[in-house]
């Protein structure tokens, strides 16, 4: 996981200690500074978007956001440079995270009543996986395997 | 009830999507943009018609007119769909309820109201597995071409 704290992105121009932290992080993970900055900038914008869900004060939104953050931590532990997902509300009131490389598609819906649905499709082979009826408490390892495959295909 | 008039294969419709968080490099839209809303479902029940997702005939309505009629204040993305592609998809996946039909708005005299159309066959059938339904929506999303942001 790229451990760039949010305050870093918010105070980039005038925080030499945080710049040092970033450089150390880049070095340990063999990332270029420009790539690390790009990731940090997008993650910052994403975090800002996520917070807009919580602005309503709806307790379900808060719970969904917490689950989104848990999922994101799980993803970053496996794929340090995973791009932040397309994020949008769904018709059933969930928060959807989605990745689409063209040939491969993967999403997870974090449900307001708790639990998650997920869906994967390989548009070339038409392999389809995911939940059909009952949501899951946690994402299965297959989800992360497919996300690794997808991120490699960008 | 009179049969709704289906658009011809040479016609092109567009759909407006509210912009959400779409990072650079990610392909969009996905199937979520074609799930009928609760308003679409209620409208169908009230009128005794199939559930219709709103699209607009580009020959009769401009995206700006559609945005104004729909009352969107936030930025929207405009995606075009060729009716020919919908007809081909219907045949390929054998979803015979799928059609783009005319559904002009009669309760408003705003410019462009006559171009309102409905995309039928996008609601989830009873007992249809979620993954199968998601694949249908993904197929539809693949027919879209982004044309503008307003």
pLDDT tens, position by position, B106-135: 888 899 999 999 999 999 999 999 999 999
Does A131 lie in the same domain as A102?
Answer: yes
Rounded to a whole number, what is the distance in angstroms from the first to the last CA of chain A? 19
- Both A64 and A80 in one domain: the answer is yes
Same domain, A126 and A92: yes
Task: Give ipTM to 2 decimals.
Answer: 0.92
Average pLDDT for residues A133-141, to the nearest whole number? 95
| B134, B137, B141, best to mutate vs chain A, most A CBs in 10 Å | B134
Lowest mean pLDDT: which of A133-137, B16-20, B75-79?
B16-20
Among candidate residues A55, A86, A101, the one where a domain is terminated? A55
CA angle B58, B60, B61 (to 5 degrees): 65
Chain A residues whose CB is inside 8 A of the B134 CB are: 119, 121, 128, 130
Q: What is the pTM of this model?
A: 0.87
Strand B116-120 with B145-149, pairing: unpaired
Using CB atoms, pick whichever of A42, A99, A130 lies closest to residue B131: A130
One domain for residues A29 and A85: no
Q: Assess whether A80 and A134 both reside in one domain.
A: yes
Final residue before a domain boundary, out of A29, A55, A81: A55
Indicate whether A47 and A65 sit together in one domain.
no
**Element spanning A107, H or E:** strand A104-110
For residues A132 and A41, the model is more confident at: A132
pLDDT at A123 over 50: yes
Q: What's the pLDDT band for A16 if we cut at 50, 70, 90?
A: low
Please check whether residues A75 and A100 belong to one and the same domain: yes
* Cβ-Cβ contacts under 8 Å, B35 against chain A: 90-91
- Nearest-Cα distance to chain B for A29, in Å, is 22
> How confident is the model at residue A142, as a pLDDT?
98
| H runs (alpha helix) in A1-154 | 6-10, 16-29, 33-54, 59-78, 141-152
Indicate the number of domains in chain A: 2
Residue range(s) defining the domain that contains residue A154: 59-154
**Calpha distance A149→A145 (Å, rounded):** 6
Q: With beta carbons less than 8 A apart as the criterion, state whether B50 and B97 touch.
A: yes
Same domain, A36 and A89: no
Quick: pLDDT tens for B139-149.
Answer: 999 999 888 88
Domain identity same for A48 and A15: yes
Domain co-membership, A49 together with A63: no
Please calculate the CA angle A85-A87-A90 and round it to the nearest 5 degrees. Answer: 135
**Residue A56, phi then psi, degrees to nearest 5:** -70, -20
């Amino acid at each position: 996981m790229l451990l760039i704290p949010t305050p870093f992105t918010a105070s980039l121009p005038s925080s030499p200690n945080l710049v040092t932290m970033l450089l150390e992080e880049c070095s340990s993970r063999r990332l270029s500074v420009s790539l690390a900055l790009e990731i940090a900038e997008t993650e910052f914008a994403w975090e800002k978007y996520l917070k807009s869900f919580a602005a309503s004060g709806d307790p379900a939104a808060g719970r969904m956001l917490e689950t989104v953050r848990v999922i994101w931590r799980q993803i970053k532990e496996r794929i340090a440079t995973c791009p932040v997902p397309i994020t949008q509300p769904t018709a059933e009131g969930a928060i959807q995270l989605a990745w689409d490389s063209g040939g491969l598609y993967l999403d997870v819906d974090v449900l307001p009543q708790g639990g998650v649905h997920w869906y994967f499709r390989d548009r070339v082979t038409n392999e389809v996986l995911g939940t059909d009826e009952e949501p899951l408490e946690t994402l299965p390892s297959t989800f992360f395997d497919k996300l690794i495959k997808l991120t490699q295909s960008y | 009830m009179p049969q709704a008039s289906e658009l011809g294969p040479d016609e092109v419709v567009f759909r407006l999507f509210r912009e959400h968080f779409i990072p650079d490099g990610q392909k969009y839209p996905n199937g979520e943009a074609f799930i009928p809303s609760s308003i679409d479902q209620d409208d169908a029940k009230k009128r005794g018609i199939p559930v219709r997702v709103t699209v607009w005939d580009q020959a009769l309505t401009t995206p700006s007119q559609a945005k104004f009629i729909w009352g969107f204040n936030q930025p929207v993305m405009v995606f075009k769909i060729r009716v020919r592609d919908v007809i081909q998809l219907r045949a390929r996946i054998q979803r015979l309820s799928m059609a783009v039909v005319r559904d002009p708005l009669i309760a408003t005299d705003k410019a462009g109201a006559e171009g309102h159309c409905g995309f039928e066959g996008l609601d989830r059938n009873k007992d249809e597995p979620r993954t199968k339904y998601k694949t249908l929506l993904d197929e539809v999303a693949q027919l879209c071409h982004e044309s503008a942001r307003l």
